[in-house]
Amino acid sequence: MSEAIRLYVRWVDTFNRWVGRFAMRLIFVMAALMLYAIGSRLFFGAPVNWSMEMSQFLLVSYFLLGGPYSMQMGSHVRMDLFYSQLSARRRAATDVFTILFVMFYLGVLLWGGISSTEYAWSYNQKNYTSWAPPMWPVKAVMTFGIFLMLLQAISALFKDVAIARGKPIE
Amino acid sequence: MSSELITLFMFTSMLLLMATGQRVFGVIGFVGAAFGLWLWGQGSAELPFNATIQVMNWFPLITVPFFVFMGYMLSESGIAANLYRMFHVWFGGLRGGLAIGTIGLMVLIACMNGLSVAGMAIGATVALPQLLAHGYDKRMVTGVIQGGSSLGILLPPSVVLVLYAMIARQPVLQLWLAGIMPGLLMAALFTIYIWWRCRRNPEMGPALPPEELAAITRSEKLRLLSAGLLPLGIFGAIMSLFMTGVTSLVESSVIGALLATLAALFTGRLNSKVLEETTRNTLGVSCMFLWIILGALCFSSVYDGLGAVRAIEALLLNTWDLSPWTILIMMMASFVVLGIFLDDTAMLVIVAPLYIPLVRSLGFDPIWFGVLYTITCQIAYITPPFGYNLFLMRAMAPPEISLSDIYSSIWPFFFLMIATMVLIMVFPQIALWLPQLYTGR
């Protein structure tokens, strides 16, 4: 493994871990927002019209930005009927090929994300609600999350190649 | 190629890729994205990303992290250990009493948990070591925990029923109410089974030794009883706020998570480690769940675009001229079979848009069908090779429990679940009584 790849893996993993640990705390922001909305409606008779949409934006940010970190933690289930029978090295060798499918999917997602964000930016697209927030910021965050997921998949590919060759990174 | 053939081709390639053991969300999303590009070219490049917008607009999904958080807070803070202790002292004197108490524990946990993960975690770490230490049959108790924790998706608050409600466009509350009686019926069947097994074969579940029973004081018994009131109180608070319309579904889930956290705080169990574990595990489970939905939405929008729904409906109703019940039983059987290869979330997002219109045109109640579907999910959770609970059990079980123990432990519970399903098919009132009572007011 060349030094550049080693460096890539270390940097991507560290960065994604940092972003993921930030995203994981967004749940508290969502909760605070919703509690504020409940309190404002019930006790002050003033419904908050943007709390629901804001929570929706936060939820997509939560799972898209948190995605790479959850991948590091191995939270994503697999159909492991055959997979679990393999040795660690064989498993890594299988993943080296099959992660390409995941990367293809993430690539198409990213492509769609970029073009959708571009559209939202240049036409100043707004949500069809009473609050009517511009859509480009949330779309940009989502696209960034997908991009990080792609970087994480590439990092997983490098790590699996290293394991398959019998020289794991770190 | 006809649309039926393409659909078949899509499903086969998905199942084949799934067998390689790659992450489920990636495999399903890949098949959707690749077929979209192949069929409609560049125009469908935004199709996978549109699924993220769809997830965003399905606002009830906001409940997912909160209901998962509630369950983890309960297990990580050790509140659940107290609950277990309550059942231990109250039922321990009976033959098989600890296993019966574990079913009770699982029912209470199901009331505070949207999926089955927290139930599994509590069962495997709190109940299982105790049951084994008291000489219970390891195969029976492994099954008890797997079967019992699967009640988490049938009893409210259930995330699986929230997802079903969105796809079938049915009210969540009706579905939750419909899940209560079947869930309790299933728990009762489990209890009867354990009681019967231990009666015929006392060494499978010995009663607590007299000296241990004598050591339990009445004041401890009463004190522990109050531990059981805690989850019921939280459950009651969420449901009553939601049923009276004071808070919406999403807001109720936040209240639930808040109450669980406060309960941990006031019993002096909340510390930074508990909070860290709860938050991190919640992120992991929510990401897994939501990324699978993302991939599955991409997949289903492709075959939706092919018009496969109408094609299959026409094939079953007009060409083959099957009776409604035959079709229903075929649908249930296909769920069980698909559940072997596919995870249940993906299955719901992929298959439900195909089946729910059919269920309606056959004249069945979509709420009742939702309950039947959830039970097939429970079956899928515990049956090899692809079951969440099996997966978790393997990771969490103590070393004396082997893989073959885990696999052979589930069969009685598998049949009891099928029995519940048949009962609900024959007597739809079991599921529909409570929702009708609520709307009839």
User: Is A23 a domain residue?
Assistant: yes
Q: How confident is the model at residue A76 (pLDDT cuts 50, 70, 90)?
A: confident
A81 contacts B385? CB cut-off 8 A? yes
Q: Please determine, for residue B208, whether its predicted confidence score (pLDDT) is greater than 80.
A: yes
With an 8 Å Cβ cutoff, are A101 and B17 in contact? yes
Indicate the length of chain B as a whole number: 441
The whole-number average pLDDT for the span A4-24 is 95
> Domain of A56?
3-164
Distance from CA of B377 to the nearest CA of A (A): 16
DSSP secondary structure code for residue A50 in this structure: T
- Cβ of A98 and B20 within 8 Å? yes
Tokens of B71: 């369950």
Interval B161-179 mean pLDDT = 92
pLDDT digits (tens, 9 = 90+) for B78-120: 888 888 889 888 888 888 899 999 999 999 888 888 787 778 8
Which residues on B lie below 8 Å from A66 (Cβ)? 283, 286-287
Which pLDDT score, from 0 to 100, does residue B1 have? Answer: 67
**Are the beta carbons of A30 and B69 closer than 8 angstroms?**
no
Q: Count other C-beta atoms under 10 Å from residue A71's C-beta.
A: 26
Q: Mean pLDDT throughout A12-26?
A: 96
Alpha-carbon torsion angle B101, B124, B68, B291, nearest 10: -140
CA B431 to chain A, closest CA, distance in angstroms equals 31
Token pair belonging to B63: 């409940």
Model confidence at B26, pLDDT cuts 50, 70, 90, reads: very high
State the nearest Cα–Cα gap between B396 and chain A, in angstroms.
Answer: 14
Question: Of all residues in chain B, what percent carry a pLDDT higher than 70?
Answer: 98
Residue A37 located in a structural domain: yes
Give the chain A residue nearest B46 (alpha carbons). Answer: A112
Does A170 fall in a domain? Answer: no
Closest Cα to residue A111, out of B54, B50, B49, B297?
A: B49
ipTM of the complex: 0.96
Q: Which residues contact B281 (CB under 8 A, 6 or more apart)?
A: B68, B72, B76
Q: Is the pLDDT of residue B344 over 80?
A: no
Q: Choose the mutation target among B13, B68, B162, B283 for the interface with A, i.e. most A CBs under 10 Å.
A: B283
Structure tokens belonging to residue B372: 């039947």
Cβ neighbors of B266 (< 8 A, separation 6 or more) are none
Distance from C-alpha of B406 to C-alpha of B398, rounded to nearest angstrom = 11
Q: Quick check: is A26 in a domain?
A: yes
- Dihedral sign, Cα of residue B281, residue B284, residue B288, residue B291: positive
Tokens at A3, concatenated: 């030094």
User: How many angstroms separate the CA of residue A3 from the nearest CA in chain B?
Assistant: 28
Taking CB atoms and an 8 Å cutoff, what residues of chain B touch A138? 56
Look at A24 and B283 and tell me if their CB atoms are within 8 Å: yes
Contacts B250 to A, Cβ<8 Å: 34, 52, 55
Total structural domains within chain A: 1
CA of B261, closest CA in chain A: separation in Å? 12
A68–B contact, CB cutoff 8 A: no
A169 in a structural domain: no
Average the pLDDT over A21-27 and give the result: 96
- Mapped to the 3 state alphabet, what secondary structure does chain B carry? CCHHHHHHHHHHHHHHHHHCCCEHHHHHHHHHHHHHHHHHHHHHCCHHHHHHHHHHHCHHHHHHHHHHHHHHHHHHCCHHHHHHHHHHHHHCCCCCHHHHHHHHHHHHHHCCCCCCHHHHHHHHHHHHHHHHHCCCCHHHHHHHHHHHHHHHHCCCCCHHHHHHHHHHCCCHHHHHHHHHHHHHHHHHHHHHHHHHHHHHCHHHCCCCCHHHHHCCCHHHHHHHHHHHHHHHHHHHHHHHHHHCCCCCHHHHHHHHHHHHHHHHHHCCCCCHHHHHHHHHHHHHHHHHHHHHHHHHHHHHHHHHHCCHHHHHHHHHHHHCCCCHHHHHHHHHHHHHHHHHHCCHHHHHHHHHHHHHHHHHHCCCCHHHHHHHHHHHHHHHHHCCCCCHHHHHHHHHCCCCCCHHHHHHHCHHHHHHHHHHHHHHHHCCHHHHHHHHHHHHC
Tally of CA atoms within 13 A in the half-sphere of A95 that contains its CB: 28
How many beta-carbon contacts under 8 Å exist across A and B? 190
A102, part of any domain: yes
Would you call B284 an interface residue with chain A, using a CB distance cutoff of 8 Å? yes
| Chain B residue with minimum CA distance to A129 | B57
In a domain, A93, yes or no: yes
The answer as to whether A94 is a domain residue is yes
The Cα–Cα gap between B358 and B221 comes to 52
| A102, closest residue in chain B (CA to CA) | B26
- Sign of CA pseudo-dihedral B433, B439, B440, B441: positive
In angstroms, the separation between the Cα of residue A48 and the nearest Cα of chain B is 13
Mean pLDDT of B198-220: 85
Query: Average pLDDT, stretch B312-340?
Result: 79
Interface touch A95/B22, C-beta < 8 Å:
yes
- Cα angle, residue B33 at apex, residues A103 and A107 outer, rounded to 5°: 30
pLDDT digits (tens, 9 = 90+) for A102-128: 999 999 999 999 999 999 999 988 888
pTM, whole model, 2 decimals? Answer: 0.90
Give the residue from B177, B176, B183, B186 showing the smallest Cα distance to B434.
B177
| Residue A70, helix vs strand vs coil | helix
Tokens 């404002």, located at residue: A40
Report the percentage of chain A scoring pLDDT > 70.
99
pLDDT at A142 over 80: yes
Does B26 touch chain A if contact means CB atoms closer than 8 Å?
A: yes
Q: Which two tokens stand for residue B212?
A: 């241990």
Contacts of A152 in chain B (CB under 8 A): none
Q: pLDDT at residue B441 above 60?
A: no
